[in-house]
Amino acid sequence: MKKKIITLSLTFFVIILSTYVVWFYTAKRQENFLIETLSKTLNLSIKNSDYKTSGFPYRFFTEIKNVDLKIGSTGYKILIPRANILRMAYHLRKAIILIDKPIIKGDFPSSLYFTAKDSKLSLSGVSIPEKFKLISEINDIKIIGANEIEIANIEQAMVALREKSRGELELYTKLDRIRLEEESNDFIQLNRAIDSQLLINGSLHYELFPPQSEKLNFGRKPLIIETINFMNEFLKLNCDLKLYLGVNKIYTNKEEKCFLKISPNIFNLISTNNPEMLKFIFMIKAFVSLKLLTNPEKLIEIPFFISVKNNNVFINKKNVFELNFE
């Protein structure tokens, strides 16, 4: 009986020890892969004291602290106090990344910056370059302007990426409960808060993990926005277009057609200090008034053309405003 107990105990000990060795080996591989990927593709160095892995026996939970990531040559960087990468032992092809209180901030004093309460990314695929899927949920985003004035907040954002073809990623973005703060900027002011939703579809043409240890270049190929849908209780905006977003540069190659459905009641809620925007609002108001004479509906449809050149936005060939990244 004593021999059986000793044999069982030794067997149990060997099983536990073997399991731990396998877990430890896999945990170190996860750490090395993360550090190597961050170093080679994002030029980011992580100190040994800023990461650790726990979760034995069925989880691989890697915590990384103090991430300071420059976004190409934009002058902006992502600050992450803490990120946790989780994989389950029974499903190593899927990873969940939890990011605590991320901040996107510029190096120049007057720049906008963005904060969020938290972010969750779900990453799955047999081989990331071949079969890639990423879903990100970000909660309570705040856009802060000069003098720490909150310009807008977004209750929840969802970004999804999947590989459309080799070297091409399909992008889907959904922003829920977008709210501009009253008197928050010089561009447009609202008499009361309006909750809006924004849907964006597009594509991204670059290799997410470049070969031969090549660094990621965010400015090499622009993000292409192909559809924009913006809606709230007073308006609906739909654009099918090709809008190119590069580093510090947004442009179109031609005029793109959009459709705006707008309620006359919105003009009682908005005002602006921007002379060009004031002219544009007056033009829209006059057009809506004429439409109401022949078609008294709740929402009036207005087709228009939009183009962007050298970060200047043109509506029906009139320069409405300039996009400033500083």
**Ramachandran angles phi, psi of 83, nearest 5°:** -130, 140
Mean pLDDT of all residues in 111-140: 77
189 found inside a domain = no
- For the ranges 18-27, 93-102, 118-127, 195-204, the lowest mean pLDDT is seen at 18-27
The tokens 């993990």 sit on which residue? 209
Mean pLDDT, residues 126-149 taken together:
75
8 lies in some domain? yes
Domain count, the chain: 1
Q: What is the predicted pLDDT for the residue at 230?
A: 96
pLDDT of 205 reads 75
Rg, the chain, Cα only = 25
CA-to-CA distance for 123 and 136, rounded, in angstroms? 9
Distance CA 234, CA 264 (A): 8
φ/ψ of 248, rounded to 5, equals 60, 20
User: Does the residue 234 lie in any domain?
Assistant: no
- Please indicate, yes or no, if residue 224 is contained in any of the structural domains: no
| Residue 109 banded pLDDT, cuts 50, 70, 90 | low
- Taking residues 262-270, report their average pLDDT: 85
Half-sphere exposure for 289 (CA within 13 Å, toward CB)? 7
**Quick one: average pLDDT of 266-275?**
81
d(CA 270, CA 267): 6
Predicted local confidence at residue 181, as pLDDT: 72
Q: Model confidence over 211-265: pLDDT tens digits?
A: 544 555 545 678 899 999 999 999 999 999 999 987 778 899 999 999 999 888 8
Q: Which two tokens stand for residue 240?
A: 């099918």
Q: What is the mean pLDDT of the chain?
A: 79
Read off φ and ψ for residue 16, nearest 5 degrees. Answer: -60, -45
- The closest alpha carbon to 176, from 193, 194, 158, 152, belongs to 158
The whole-angstrom separation of Cα 287 and Cα 290 is 5
pLDDT at 166: 72
Is 115 within a domain? yes
Nearest alpha-carbon partner for 120 in 139, 137, 106, 133: 137
Cα gap 223→233, rounded to integer Å: 30
> Strand pairing of 103-106 and 223-231?
unpaired
Annotate 266-300 with b (16+ C-beta within 10 A) or e (fewer).
Answer: bbeeeebeeeebeebbeebeeebeebeeeeeeeeb
- Judged by average pLDDT, the poorest of 25-34, 98-107, 108-117, 281-290 is 25-34
pLDDT in tens, 20-49: 677 677 777 777 777 776 666 566 666 665
> Contact 162/135 with Cβ under 8 angstroms?
no
Domain assignment present for residue 201? The answer is: no
Per the rule left: phi > 0, alpha: psi between -120 and 50, beta: everything else, 75 is left
User: Which residue range is the domain that position 25 belongs to?
Assistant: 1-166
User: Residue 199: its pLDDT value, please?
Assistant: 96
Q: Using CA atoms, how far apart are residues 285 and 235, in angstroms rounded to an integer?
A: 13
pLDDT of residue 97: 87
In a domain, 137, yes or no: yes
Q: In terms of pLDDT, which residue wins out, 321 or 137? A: 137
Would the pTM count as exceeding 0.75? yes
Share of the chain above pLDDT 90, in %: 21
Kindly report, residue by residue over 39-75, the tens digit of the pLDDT. Answer: 665 666 666 657 788 777 778 788 888 888 777 666 7
d(CA 145, CA 38): 30
Of the two residues 46 and 81, the one the predictor is more confident about is 81
In a domain, residue 142? The reply is yes
277-301: average pLDDT: 77
